[in-house]
Copies of this chain bind each other. A is one copy, B any other.
Amino acid sequence: LKGMGGTQDHLGAAVSIMEVGKDSVRGLIRFIQSDTDTLVIDGTVDGLIPGNKHAICVHECGDISDGCNSCGEVFTSNSSHKPAEGEFGDIIAGSDGRAEFRITSDRIKIWEMIGRSMIIHNCSSDRAHRPGQPDERISCGIIARSAGLFQNNKKICAC
């Protein structure tokens, strides 16, 4: 896939360490803007219930001072857009509770996401963000600028 094989052939890189929320759910998600149209999200999350669908999305803020609940609503550039640009559908864990996923989007850019948060819900995407539906944010992490996927320890930040 474009942008995942080289060292500097991308327009920005970010990382989110998913370590806030339900104690048993933890993960690491990496983001690459491989060209102006293509955001690639690569993640591994552990501690999910095998087989359940979990909505994964960007929320407006990266403020975790009150856990995942201070991260605001799902990110959209225009509230009439359905689904919101911050909605990436669902992830599903295998029998070991681990979900490994690669998601691409041409609806959102990495520079719109930096400083906001990734959220994993306990429910599927057709139930998340819906008034009156039971919903819980089981994991979240701030989307932080990183030096890139395959960068060495010189840590020259490309973003």
Interface of A toward B, CB cutoff 8 Å = 14-15, 17, 28, 60-65, 70-73, 114-117, 142-147, 155-157, 159
Contact = CB atoms under 8 A, between A and B. Distances in A.
> Which label, helix, strand, loop or mixed, suits the secondary structure of the A interface?
loop
A65 B15 contact: yes
A73 B155 contact: yes
The 6 closest A-B pairs by CB, nearest first: A62-B144, A60-B157, A114-B115, A63-B146, A115-B145, A115-B115
16 contacts: A14-B115, A60-B145, A60-B147, A61-B144, A61-B145, A61-B155, A62-B142, A62-B145, A65-B146, A70-B155, A72-B147, A73-B157, A114-B114, A114-B115, A115-B144, A116-B144
A16 B62 CA distance: 9
A70 B114 CA distance: 17
A30 to B, nearest CB: 9
